[in-house]
Amino acid sequence: GQNIDQPTEMTATEGAIVQINCTYQTSGFNGLFWYQQHAGEAPTFLSYNVLDGLEEKGRFSSFLSRSKGYSYLLLKELQMKDSASYLCAVLDSNYQLIWGAGTKLIIKP
């Protein structure tokens, strides 16, 4: 079967750095997405990786290793507004998006 694994919950301190991991086992691979979802709100797009390596976008970076079936989202200089769930999703060989259950990130002052 197809599977996306990410931690259920993480806690970090304001101003610090946090890394949210995502591992996947899918039938084929056509890219990996990260979305942010604040409680009670719609998910919003953060990043898309299809090649190995690190993509940086301001305070957020996303890394992909296709050979390891692994990605991470790195958040720097954490702010209270970064408290949210972070969803990892993989586009499989049929171009179907397979979603993880999300990681709830709690930021403490």
Partner 1 sequence: ETGVTQTPRHLVMGMTNKKSLKCEQHLGHNAMYWYKQSAKKPLELMFVYSLEERVENNSVPSRFSPECPNSSHLFLHLHTLQPEDSALYLCASSQGRDRGADEQFFGPGTRLTVL
Can you give the binding site for partner 1, defined by CB under 8 A?
Answer: 4, 8, 30-31, 33, 41-45, 48, 50, 87, 89, 91, 95-102
DSSP symbols for 26-40: -SS-S-EEEEEE-TT
Least distance CB 60 / partner 1 (angstroms):
14
Between 4 and 107, CB nearer to partner 1: 4
Least distance CB 66 / partner 1 (angstroms):
14
Q: 23 CB contacts (<8 Å, ≥6 apart)?
A: 4, 5, 6, 68, 69, 70, 71
